[in-house]
Structure 1
Amino acid sequence: MQFKNLFIGAFVGLFIINSVCAQDLSLDTAVRMGELPNGFRYFIKANTYPKNRAVLYLANKVGSILEEEKERGLAHFLEHMNFKGTTHFPKNELINYLEGAGVKFGADLNAYTSFDETVYQLPIPTDQPDLWKNGLQIMRDWASEAILDEQEFEKERGVILEEKRLQQNASGRMREKYLPALYNFSRYGERAPIGLEEVIAKADITRIRDFYKRWYRPDLQALIVVGDIDVAQVEQQIKALFGDLKMPAKAPDRPQYSIDLIDSLRYVQVKDKEFSSYQLEFFYKRKAAPVKDVAGFKGQLVRQLSNSLLASRFQEIARAGEPPYRGMSVSAGDFIDDITTLNVRVALRPDKLDAGFKAAWTELLRIQRHGFTADEFQDVKERLRTQLSLQLSEKDKIPSINFVEDYLQYFLQGTAFQAVEQEIALTTQLLDQITTQDIRQYLNDFLAAKDVVALVLGADDGIVLPSKQDLLNWQAEAAAMEIRPYVQQRDSLALFREKPIAGTVKKVQQHAAIGFTQWTLRNGVNIYAKATDFKNNEILFTGFSRGGASLYADADYYSAVNASTFVLNSGVGQLNANQLAQFLNAKAVQVRPYIADREEGISGASSAAALETALGLTHQYMASARLDTARFHIIMDRSKEAMRNRDADPKQVFADTVGNVLGGYHFRRQPTSVQTLGQIQADRVSHIFQERFANAGDFNFVFVGNFNLDSLKALTELYLGSLPATATREEAIDLNIRVPEGKIRKDLTLGAGDKGTVQLVYSGKYRYSMQNNIYLDALKTAVELRLMERLRKRESGVYSPSVQLTKAKHPLGFFAVVISFDCDPKREDELITAVREELAKIVQKGIVVEELSKFVAEEKRTVELQSTSNQFWLSYLKGQLEKQEPLSAWLSYPTLLDKTRVTALNKYVKKLPLLENEIIVTLTPANK
């Protein structure tokens, strides 16, 4: 399989290392592959993670690149129409059927259209024969039996136009201007999958039917099935279902389009008033080939190592001081078609455009001339070996979706896929053959590319952006300088000068019903540990204490809630930030302290081997946190600079306004600004952080994962039991910050374009309980279904309305249903009225049985997956402890779910103040 965190993409440049022979990669023999007489292909693999689930992809080598001028947008339109009715599932029966089985449209059931392919995705349970049979039938219908009903076609136009409207922002407008140049003015630059508005709005139904008949055909299709299945049985089902697919008469050859390289530097400058930064980007382009042999695999590995080295170097530079630019990144990756690029991106300060660019370019030249140090290279190799070891340990717990993506790329591009063990073994073997000279040569070959695009992006605010000649002059000035090799300070590093003196366990309790052990250390720290085998080498943990920023005056609020950011960038104990990064290199550890409104805590994750390091780091953050004042001022300066042009971004102003209104304009709910940043004081940051973590006896820790209980107990005695503690037990203070009651509306008019944004919030008090939470969750599902039906399907006014539900027990029982959507600004009030009407129907006439059934079906399937997830159990146990709810409550959840009846549900919903409290915030472009 292809490891996404190891290898970026499926292509590699033509850089070939002579010591590697052109031996073809061996494909994973556990994958059943075949081709039917009609040309239809299939890939099948048995994989039991997750159990009783499979992922199905129908891949079509059909995308927007095949569209003629009058068809621009129809490939994507056709993807939509396949959900609007097929032979065996007419109208909307397909979505209704799957949602009734717990497969949710959008979240599970989905599809995408790109330049060269359209792919339909269906994750489906395998433990119900009828559901599985119908799942395969759906894939068969998508392949060749779309009804393409004219009435549904007309209704869907508006939905697609609303999807296109989502791109109407600063980034979208700028992208439309520079993409043709990036794509070398090829056909790809004229075939964005979303298409043209005039085609979407006016195309005749016959045009999309012709496109469907011409291109949806077996020789361009493949079915990929991975999951908890019988491979031989599925193969027979595929042969029976797809074997009779027919090729269209006089089927045209599928044309292959490509991008020709251009031997020149193209300069593109784009401004937008709503863009909030200043960026320079260089794209160095080269041709690529799919990875099919060992030489290509090695080249891909060289690229991965290069990217890791580049990222590490620039992170270290950023941690070490304050360069005159805001940020820099360099990385190689796939671009489009058979092009791969080296992308150099520099974020600049408007008052230091020239100095910032020359400083950044000097760092790139330093790498070009001198390469990387042996220590840097060794660090990257060690990290990669750790990743390989972790992946090998989890080889039987790889999610099915990971395999599906690999086989998809093989079908579309020819990229070889290997068995997990094969890929890891080959990577390990080749890793020892690659040298720093190979890395340097790879990057220098890229920088010598003749096809280069220089992209200059900025705010349209009067700042003069550099011209092409400016860039060339700045590059020349940097190149004329003497540039010395990079010097990296390497120290003998340790987390502790001396290990702490271990505490002891005072009390142990077993909670057999829910499968965890609890023990209390002598200093008062409470440990809750649930050992699992959900993953072979994963341990998650969190520690928390009540209080947080609520215990401090308003003047200290922003120092408190931002304190962890500064501490995390300062190092810990005797190690500064760069030393800590070196110490943690190749260790599978992540530990992050935080201070929130009502609690402070630490979250962490590690492998079994790195658990001691994770707990040692936890000890140090709680007992020996440090604040690097130089880093503090650097972060403050960068943050204030980032506030520049914030008010020019309508989306940001909208979000700030929503936060202000929902927070009742409380001081602590003000949007981030130069003024709020000015409240942050270094001495208060340091004092508050240390004070919040000074009393370990007020902390609860939860551990979930594959650990030995006795070993964990010993480690907690050493690193948590040794922490200082008192008998004080704090509670968070209720600051009376409330979402306002009553009816409130705030209309914003600013920005350009033709996109309106609406957010509605319906909230109120309620009594927190598991049963009431089920009722609220069912209500959320009903609202989602109603709004999807009304706003998208009937009104064709919204692409995808969002419905979010918030539930809280402290400081008081409170819920909020948040509804958001983008739309035609002229239809904002009409669609708001539609939302109100649907909510009124729910309250007055009630939720119907079908809506409750869909909620229960989806929730049951979700519970099946959650119950085998370390992250779920960590969140659940922490949440129950926070809310002071019974830890065994989960055992009753399935029963409560099954016993939920629509009559009781509607009785509960009627009592909610759902329609009494309404907050509406809208954003309308100024030109509208």
Structure 2
Amino acid sequence: MKLRHTVSLIALTLLSASLVAPPAFAQDAPLKQKGRWAQEYNGRKPDPAVTFGTLPNGLRYAILRNTTPSDGVAMRLRIGSGSIEETDEQQGLAHFLEHMAFRGSRNVADGEVVKMLERQGLRFGPDTNAFTAQDQTVYMFNFPKADDAALDTGLSLFREIGERLTLDAAALEAEKGVILSEERARDVPVYRMTKANLGNVLAGTRAARRWPIGTVETIKAATPERMRDYYRRYYRPDNATLIVVGNIDPARVEARIKAGFADWKASGPATPVEPGTPSPAQPAIEFVAAGAPDVLTLSWVRPVDRRADTVAVVREQALQQVGLVVLNNRIADRAAKPGSPFVGGGAATVPDLIDTAALTQVGIAAAPDKWSEALAAVIEEQRQIVSGPIAPEELQRAVAQVMTGLKAKAEGASTRKHEDLANALVKAVDQDELFTHPQQDLALAETVLAGLTPAEVSQAVKAAFAGQGPVLFRSAQAGGAGVPALQAQLAAAYARPLALRAAEVAVVWLYDSFGAAGTVTAQTRDADLGTTLVTFANGTRLTVKQTPFEKDRIRIKVSLGQGRAGVPAPLVHALWAAELAPLGGTGKLGLPDIQRWGQSGGKFVGATLESDSLAFHLNGVTRPADLSSEMQLLAAFARDPGFRPELGEKLGAIAPMIAGQVEANPGAVFQRERDRLFGGGDGRFGEVVSAADLSATRPADLPALLGPALAGAADLTIVGDIDVPTAVAAVQATFGAGAARPRPAAPQVRLTMPTGRTEPYTVTHAGRADQAIYGAFWSLTDYFADPRQSDVADVAAAILEARMVDTVREKLGITYSPRARARASVQLPGQGYIGVSLETPPAKFDTFRTLLDQQLQDLAAKPIGPDELARAVQPLIQREIKLRESNEWWVENLATIWRESRAKAALVSKPDRFATIAATEVQAFVAKRMASQQPVVVIARAAEKAGQ
């Protein structure tokens, strides 16, 4: 788990159940009608590019031709039932059935589904997957090619899933271990926190009692008969939707669907279930557990809003959205100011939660010792939005934000990806909503938001906080406050006199000039990469690549300093905090002012900071119309960093919140130990922070850590919908302007990889006692020491993972997550490894290790067949091809070339190189580097509790 994932987790858990409903004004709106397309009854038109249809047997389908990427097709089969429909003895079987869909059917043998898809370049997991929710089950295939073979394979497998699963008893027994492994992996503090919160708020409903994973008892007791009962009732054509998006001919696909699915008949009667009526069980509850997020939420629950999304209803929702944006701006501004008792938060809305409830929720993240103060502050914001007026300038800011987002989506609509569109169609079906084109959404918003008044928005926001509530929920890692204290603080906060809000002050942007425009001293074209390289007199360098992959979107990466490799030993402990630096604003403007400047001006701008081994990177995403503003923003953060006192406050609050979440996460502590070993024992190159480093970090560390890098010469990478002259002009006015800046010397680093030993490296976590991870790794060289070996290692890892899926997952059922990975670094000399890891209880470690040794000896001794080799290589090739149609990939890799020019050759030829790898090379690699070598074994297991 990278730190940014941990920080994001804090933000996400604020709204893990952040759900809100629209005001009930449009009483004459028709109700949603399950099993029908929304346009058939809501009076609005859908996206005209989509072919919608319904077969006589009730099966619905949606087909859309799309050309981003240039080839490929995303296919989805949605079953409109999930865990809510389960009986008491079936709890978990909807999800279990999803797994069994890959374990054999009338025309496809057990184990063949994944192999069929691998032959066409799909990877198990990223391209071949499924999920089960409380209200739906969705099967997903992302084919790299949109040819007849892909369409025939996808549709035929969906047909098998719909009606022809065998649900073999032996396969079911083997899969139980996989499901139990997934149950262990899911059962982390964030998950338990969410269950506790929603369990209280939605008490009285099936949604509160039916979590998709089910219970250990019902999983162990599962039988083919119980599963067939669910399968017959809910896998039926009138409960299913097919979605196909890609570079296809919709008419031909429609004909295939009609020919292949018209004879699908329901085999049993569906059993309607009553979702129940939500009624919170208690006005305040608390969840305290090691690793739990430190958050507070306030909830208001109402009956579900089942009105169709007519224009009148959409207008209500738009008014409420604008009002909640105002509230979220107030919360964000308050969180960013000095002395704030909370570090972030917000409110969100959904009118229909699993056909169960409408729910409004406001959540914040706050340090444990600040919870009461934080609760009082967020309640003050909630009371003010309900009772007080919305200022005209606040309304203008919120409307600008909403319209900026809609305009950005409309401008980029022509280059949306297959998978994103397919998933959006699934969401529309799940919510019984109209699927529209972003241009339609923008046009409607321009109409419904025209002439909007603060009074209208205030009225809409008040309706959001109607219903039962507020219901208070507190989650903490330790130090329970107790329910009486929670209730007392809640009452006291609402009884407190409400202060008047201070008016927002207009922001004057102070970063529109960085000196005289820079002078270009050199400009060359790299035909291999399709880039233009530009050098400026002050030492700034620029790479520009114009692409068609994202219409009206530009990605920018500003590389500065030496990154992790250049950090002096006394500051290594503070590396985790580098990405939080933007919270400190700039020298002239605090973060709230910067946010208000961008939002009020309708600008699509932003800045984040990250580090890799050889550079610190300021990142931004913008559109051509806002390029100048985005470049000014990035230059302001680099040339005039703030490191304000509020940044130090945030570091002090966030550090203990992160520490507990990391230490309770088996995957995080496992990765930290692996990175330590294969980072040569050098703390600079590990991405998972330790509790010691968190507690050691002080506010003064960040200026010392980042100041020299930000002050140095910048290397910019700009990729997307932009031409070279425009990019050059933007850099001339910002990073290219001003005096020459020092360029850092290349850091001298060489890592030594660990050697295998009999004794494992064991680390402990604070999670569940039966949660454990086992990994076996073998050291390799870095990429440049042996490029061919790196490619062969990737193929060997792919073959090993496929074999692990077939054996330890499918045949033995001891894990949900076998993984094999090879890494040969292009940034760190000496770094390389290949390894296999999985989640499984410690009692299964020896079984796994024996099987792994057998597989390695088999690979070393026996020739690899052409089919197995192709199934490993084709997904690797297709992945590399598709990555090259992504701006994210280009901006990342072009930035790497600034620090390591040799990486260019590796990038250009990689897909072709995979195609030349022979089975004998893989066999020789495994024999030499793995089968005959002692591995480095890493184990993460639960720490023994006192008294055990």
Give the Å deviation of 1:194.
1.9
What aligned pairs does 1:57-136 form with structure 2 within 5 A after superposition? 57-136=76-155
Q: Distance in 2 between matches of 1:204 and 1:342?
A: 40
CA, structure 1 residues 602+751, in 2 after alignment: closer, same or farther (shift >3 Å)?
closer
CA, structure 1 residues 434+828, in 2 after alignment: closer, same or farther (shift >3 Å)?
farther
Deviates more, 1:97-106 or 1:654-663: 654-663
Question: 2:649 is matched with which residue: 630, 634, 638?
Answer: 634
Q: Distance in 2 between matches of 1:752 and 1:625?
A: 39
SS in 2 for 1:357: helix
CA offset digits 1:640-694 (Å, max 9, x no partner): 5436756973646556555555556556579756753565455553355332233
Give the Å deviation of 1:397.
1.2
User: Does residue 581 of structure 1 match 2:595?
Assistant: yes
Give the number of equivalent residue pairs: 913
Q: Distance in 2 between matches of 1:483 and 1:861?
A: 60
CA offset digits 1:27-59 (Å, max 9, x no partner): 233322222222222222222222222222222
CA offset digits 1:546-594 (Å, max 9, x no partner): 523544532233456645533x122224222222222222322233344
What aligned pairs does 1:153-192 form with structure 2 within 5 A after superposition? 153-173=172-192, 179-192=198-211
Give the Å deviation of 1:726.
5.0
CA, structure 1 residues 330+680, in 2 after alignment: closer, same or farther (shift >3 Å)?
same
Give the structure 1 partner of residue 73 of structure 2.
54
Question: 1:312 is matched with which residue: 329, 332, 347?
Answer: 329
CA, structure 1 residues 814+648, in 2 after alignment: closer, same or farther (shift >3 Å)?
closer
User: Does residue 29 of structure 1 match 2:29?
Assistant: no
CA offset digits 1:361-395 (Å, max 9, x no partner): 22322222214332222112112222222222222
User: Does residue 258 of structure 1 match 2:275?
Assistant: yes
CA, structure 1 residues 447+591, in 2 after alignment: closer, same or farther (shift >3 Å)?
closer
CA, structure 1 residues 424+291, in 2 after alignment: closer, same or farther (shift >3 Å)?
farther
Give the structure 1 partner of residue 534 of structure 2.
519
Question: 1:379 is matched with which residue: 390, 397, 415?
Answer: 397
User: Does residue 364 of structure 1 match 2:382?
Assistant: yes
User: Does residue 490 of structure 1 match 2:505?
Assistant: yes
CA, structure 1 residues 151+235, in 2 after alignment: closer, same or farther (shift >3 Å)?
same
What aligned pairs does 1:698-777 form with structure 2 within 5 A after superposition? 699-725=714-740, 729-734=744-749, 739=754, 742-748=757-763, 751=766, 753-766=768-781, 768-769=783-784, 770-777=787-794
User: Does residue 480 of structure 1 match 2:495?
Assistant: yes
CA contact (8 A) 1:538 1:605 kept: yes
CA offset digits 1:251-282 (Å, max 9, x no partner): 42441422314387544333335536364543
Letter in 2 for 1:544: S
Deviates more, 1:98-107 or 1:402-411: 402-411
Q: Distance in 2 between matches of 1:33 and 1:823?
A: 44
Give the structure 2 partner of residue 217 of structure 1.
236
Q: Distance in 1 between matches of 2:361 and 2:567?
A: 45
Letter in 2 for 1:231: P
CA offset digits 1:7-44 (Å, max 9, x no partner): x9999534326999997222233322222222222222
User: Does residue 557 of structure 1 match 2:572?
Assistant: yes
User: Does residue 691 of structure 1 match 2:708?
Assistant: yes
Question: 1:788 is matched with which residue: 795, 801, 805?
Answer: 805
CA offset digits 1:757-778 (Å, max 9, x no partner): 1242514242524433321211
CA contact (8 A) 2:820 2:834 kept: yes
SS in 2 for 1:62: coil
CA contact (8 A) 2:18 2:361 kept: no
Q: Distance in 2 between matches of 1:211 and 1:728?
A: 65
CA contact (8 A) 2:207 2:356 kept: no
CA, structure 1 residues 138+365, in 2 after alignment: closer, same or farther (shift >3 Å)?
same
Question: 1:465 is matched with which residue: 481, 485, 503?
Answer: 481
Give the Å deviation of 1:785.
0.8
SS in 1 for 2:607: strand
User: Does residue 879 of structure 1 match 2:896?
Assistant: yes
CA, structure 1 residues 702+743, in 2 after alignment: closer, same or farther (shift >3 Å)?
farther
CA, structure 1 residues 677+347, in 2 after alignment: closer, same or farther (shift >3 Å)?
closer
User: Does residue 805 of structure 1 match 2:822?
Assistant: yes
CA contact (8 A) 1:10 1:290 kept: no
CA, structure 1 residues 723+675, in 2 after alignment: closer, same or farther (shift >3 Å)?
farther
User: Does residue 603 of structure 1 match 2:622?
Assistant: no
Q: Distance in 2 between matches of 1:445 and 1:631?
A: 35
Give the Å deviation of 1:902.
1.3
CA, structure 1 residues 29+326, in 2 after alignment: closer, same or farther (shift >3 Å)?
closer
User: Does residue 137 of structure 1 match 2:156?
Assistant: yes
Deviates more, 1:72-81 or 1:101-110: 72-81
CA offset digits 1:612-647 (Å, max 9, x no partner): 12222333333322321x224312321354367569
Give the structure 1 partner of residue 880 of structure 2.
863
Superposition TM-score, scaled by structure 2 size: 0.89
CA, structure 1 residues 370+134, in 2 after alignment: closer, same or farther (shift >3 Å)?
same
User: Does residue 622 of structure 1 match 2:638?
Assistant: yes
Letter in 1 for 2:638: M
SS in 2 for 1:142: helix
CA, structure 1 residues 374+784, in 2 after alignment: closer, same or farther (shift >3 Å)?
same
Q: Distance in 1 between matches of 2:887 and 2:437?
A: 26
Q: Distance in 2 between matches of 1:372 and 1:386?
A: 20
CA, structure 1 residues 736+73, in 2 after alignment: closer, same or farther (shift >3 Å)?
closer
Give the Å deviation of 1:419.
3.2
Letter in 1 for 2:466: A
Letter in 1 for 2:585: G
Give the Å deviation of 1:918.
0.8
CA, structure 1 residues 589+847, in 2 after alignment: closer, same or farther (shift >3 Å)?
farther
Question: 1:569 is matched with which residue: 583, 587, 595?
Answer: 583
- CA-based RMSD of the aligned residues comes to 3.3
CA contact (8 A) 2:62 2:244 kept: yes
SS in 2 for 1:923: strand
Question: 1:13 is matched with which residue: 19, 22, 35?
Answer: 22
Q: Distance in 2 between matches of 1:526 and 1:126?
A: 38
Give the structure 1 partner of residue 842 of structure 2.
825
Give the structure 2 partner of residue 425 of structure 1.
443
Give the structure 1 partner of residue 558 of structure 2.
543
SS in 1 for 2:464: helix
Q: Distance in 1 between matches of 2:662 and 2:564?
A: 27
In structure 2, list runs of 5 or more residues that go unmatched. 1-11, 32-41
SS in 2 for 1:876: helix
Q: Distance in 1 between matches of 2:240 and 2:279?
A: 33
Give the structure 2 partner of residue 510 of structure 1.
525
Q: Distance in 1 between matches of 2:515 and 2:29?
A: 51
Give the Å deviation of 1:796.
0.7
Letter in 1 for 2:481: L
SS in 1 for 2:233: helix
Q: Distance in 2 between matches of 1:521 and 1:494?
A: 26
CA contact (8 A) 1:113 1:193 kept: yes
CA contact (8 A) 1:558 1:679 kept: yes
CA, structure 1 residues 491+292, in 2 after alignment: closer, same or farther (shift >3 Å)?
closer
What aligned pairs does 1:310-349 form with structure 2 within 5 A after superposition? 310-325=327-342, 327-333=344-350, 334-349=352-367
Deviates more, 1:792-801 or 1:160-169: 160-169
Give the Å deviation of 1:134.
2.4
Letter in 1 for 2:184: R
Letter in 1 for 2:258: K
Give the structure 1 partner of residue 5 of structure 2.
none
In structure 1, list runs of 5 or more residues that go unmatched. none
Give the Å deviation of 1:607.
0.9
Give the structure 1 partner of residue 39 of structure 2.
none
Superposition TM-score, scaled by structure 1 size: 0.90
Q: Distance in 1 between matches of 2:29 and 2:900?
A: 60
